[in-house]
Structure 1
């Protein structure tokens, strides 16, 4: 694996394949685990608690995509510091000292829940900060980290689209082990989100679901996770730009109390590699079908 775009960045990294041979881009925006001294000094949380909303080791679960011929963008900054799976300015004014710009989205459901672009809480409604931040600092995070991250992701997708005539973004995440489907006792192991068919071809999403089910995962679509800002923003199936979010149940591969890898970690990673390989084969086999691209 080689570093490619933005290789001087300490906030994120692109892992490039020796040759880009499949029309995929993989993205892990929530697995960052570099908690700076400055950030920890601002937080009221201990080093373990602040990681509760982190997609623990998801980058490692999916990194074999690179050996299969696709680039992967990995965030190093933690989700608790900045969430790039939000609009750029979903901000809660109550978190800041000073005026925020008028274009800030302060009324979104995610802001109300404490999970805006700069989160107020980690999982289980645990407050991150002991004091308010300055508006300048919040806006600096967006300028210095959020915008360059998305610029990098856009370049990867555009490059893939030019090379292959289509681009498929797989946005990689994890979910808590206690997640249930509303109104059902079923415990999903993987949730595939395509914004209810608007961010990707339904044939592509169905193929992904069928492959994961065949590999033994209890797989559901869009409930309770249909995909966030990244899936919605980059998925344009009418233009052969497909975006799918994949949530892996953390209890499959990590101890959710200690965040230590379970012995099953390598097994899960291996099954996900098989999934990525089969999905890539499916896309290559159907790439000449114009109905797939335009669906």
Structure 2
């Protein structure tokens, strides 16, 4: 069995979580899926590669290997609604973002959902918890950056074209205001359009682990995929990525500096 996630331990109190970069699907699931589902179109393509510079900063990284169609690691195990009034994609999705069926036959039974939570969801979150606890024990605080991307236009999820950079702090609840402000200032140093706590305010990971009163500050960054790849061919664009990494590096450094 392929590992649920890959991880790298850095020396600084910063963990970068990449929960939607994985593409692997269990064989028993593949047998029941449509061709659209097998293409895993809602993957956060190339996000781990985009952040590969973060090790040089001394950050830890945790990258999921399995598709969000197996289980969405950025949803609660009880599948609570994160954005009331918006389309609910679910803990174990049965449709793509564009509304196409993921399964040719059947859906996901409650027993199957429970197994996926036990086999994939729980190990990922247990490691986040352990990593943050170790950082707090060593440094007195911990920083969590939840890294995501999404197509620039997804009519079922939001209107129009998404800004390139979408910073989410659960409306200021998941990190200290001074830290959020520092990250926003760093983002504004570059030419990308941006939003703060707009359509994407932070998913389960940001909301669950962000606890600024107890020294854990969490931020989600949702990047519009046009900023670093060709959205039609899904090919990584090295030139675009080089420019974007400048902004990402500045934002992460601001995160670290503001928390010290």
TM-score by length of 1: 0.79
Residue matched to 1:33: 23
* Whole-angstrom CA distance in 1 between matches of 2:144 and 2:215: 11
1:11 to 4, 15, 24: 4
Structure 1 or 2, whichever has the larger Rg, is: 1
Task: Find the aligned partners of 1:255 and 1:117 in 2 and give their Cα distance.
Answer: 28
2:195: which partner in 1?
Answer: 220
2:100 aligned residue: 126
TM-score using structure 2 length: 0.88
Shift of 1:143: 0.7
Query: Residues of 1 paired with 2:93 and 2:161: CA distance?
Result: 29
8 A contact 2:37–2:102 mirrored in 1: no
Output the aligned Cα RMSD. Answer: 2.8
Unaligned runs of 5+ in 2: none
In 2, the alpha carbon distance for the partners of 1:183 and 1:32 equals 24
Q: Which structure 2 residues correspond to residues 158-177 of structure 1 after superposition, within 5 A?
A: 158-177=133-152
Correspondence for 1:42: 32
Q: For 1:39-59, what per-residue CA distance to the aligned partner results, in whole angstroms no more than 9, with x for missing partners?
A: 3222113477x4221111111
Deviations 1:268-290 (A, max 9, x none): 4532453255325523xx62xxx
Listed one character per residue, the Cα deviations across residues 139-177 of structure 1 (whole Å, up to 9, x for unaligned) are 110011111110001001111111111111000001221
Which residue in the other structure is 2:204 paired with?
A: 229
Q: Show CA shifts across 1:87-144 (max 9, x none).
A: 1122xxxxxxxxxxxxxx6x77689945111112122111211223333222110011
Does the CA-based 8 Å contact 1:11-1:145 persist in structure 2? yes
Distance 2:91 2:197 in 1: 22
SS in 1 for 2:229: coil
**CA 1:199 to 1:233, structure 2 compared with 1: closer, same or farther past 3 Å?**
same
What are the superposed Cα offsets for residues 200-238 of structure 1, whole Å, 9 maximum, x if unpaired? 011111111111110322222011100011111101111
Contact kept? 2:74, 2:203, Cα under 8 Å: yes
